[in-house]
Amino acid sequence: MLHVLLPNFAHCGQDRLLRTWLIRGDRLPDAAHGYSAALGAHFRWPSGDLPAGALLREAERGDAEGDTWLCADPAFVQPDMTGARMLACGTLDLTAEEAESLARPLRPLFGDRGFLLELTTPSRWHLRMPRDAQPPAFAAPDRVLGDDLLTYLPQDARHASWRELFNEAQILLHQHPLNAERRARGQMPVNCLWLWGGGRLPSWVKADIERIHTHDALARVLAERARVAVADVQDFDPDAAGDVLLDLEAGLRPEAHWPLLERALKRHKAMHLDFASGERMLVRHAHRWRIWRKVA
């Protein structure tokens, strides 16, 4: 079986091949919105939400064992009439010097709560917390991007201290002089840390797929821990057999990839299309005979 991760449905275009699959294929129940949710559906771990923070830290530094981790990714948020919209997260091209400058006033804020702010890379930051810490379930940034982030903050009264922490970090970043310099250079400022992916490093990860083609760091570390073969997207062989996950969420080129998937469908006989916006389709090679389902 071939499984394909795709961008939001609205970003996939109107190519005739795609329209044919959608019209003649079988619509499955929608899944949770977001790339991380679609990716996580192909893996299993002991319990809880996907502990992306611990997994990504382990992949970069190899020291995640024994603590609870939370991603704290630098982000740009644009206030508007109704709230604040996240326009970028983890993709702000920070240098190591810029990252350290931004992090310096934040460390005491987190340290007062017993958390250590770690700059795993200039664009990927983490909070190292005690093993028994239980951070709330924040949404992954791919789910929040372009939307009002205030609706994704934990609303439960038990997590009021986390909302306070989030707001205090925003204030410190907003006041940082580096952001004025970045604006003057035409770069987006860093005025928010988005917290997500909390949890401990799982003792095991399993998957039902045999191979994954991806450029995503989280997908790669999940596959490696599940002992699934990992390859680049450009190395995908449409004629190869087996249970394969092809990750096109961040690099879909319809003019190249739809014909490639059509060829792969002949080999695999069936493929799942999982859109980041939650829609799911099962397309079988035999569905080409559903000619009563007209394609405009």
What pLDDT was estimated at residue 296?
72
Question: Residue 262 in contact with residue 20, Cβ under 8 Å?
Answer: no
Do 262 and 284 lie in one domain? The reply is yes
What pLDDT was estimated at residue 130?
96
Do 56 and 195 lie in one domain? The reply is yes
Do 119 and 169 lie in one domain? The reply is yes
| Parent domain of 230 | 2-45+205-289
What pLDDT was estimated at residue 209?
96
Do 182 and 281 lie in one domain? The reply is no
Instruction: Count how many domains the chain has.
Output: 2
How far from each other are the two terminal CA atoms of the chain, in whole angstroms? 28
pLDDT one digit per residue (tens) for the chain, 296 residues = 999 999 999 999 888 999 999 999 999 999 999 999 999 999 999 999 999 999 999 999 999 999 999 999 999 999 888 889 999 999 999 999 999 999 999 999 999 999 999 999 999 999 999 999 999 999 999 999 999 998 999 888 888 999 999 999 999 999 999 999 999 999 999 999 999 999 999 999 999 999 999 999 999 999 999 999 999 999 999 999 899 999 999 999 999 999 999 999 998 999 999 999 999 999 999 988 888 888 77
Do 23 and 83 lie in one domain? The reply is no
Classify residue 295: in a domain, yes or no: no
Cα gap 267→269, rounded to integer Å:
6
Give pTM, 2 decimals: 0.91
Do 41 and 174 lie in one domain? The reply is no
What pLDDT was estimated at residue 258?
95
Do 228 and 282 lie in one domain? The reply is yes
Last residue of a domain, one of 200, 218, 246: 200
Q: Which residues of 241-268 are buried (b: 16+ CB within 10 A; e: fewer)?
A: eebbbbbbbeebeeeebbeebbebbebb
Do 75 and 190 lie in one domain? The reply is yes
Q: For residue 260, give Cα distances in angstroms to 79, 116, 234, 269.
A: 41, 46, 11, 14
The total of other beta-carbon atoms located within 10 Å of residue 186's CB is: 6
Do 258 and 189 lie in one domain? The reply is no
Do 23 and 107 lie in one domain? The reply is no
What pLDDT was estimated at residue 291?
83
Do 110 and 215 lie in one domain? The reply is no
Classify residue 276: in a domain, yes or no: yes
Classify residue 153: in a domain, yes or no: yes
What pLDDT was estimated at residue 290?
87
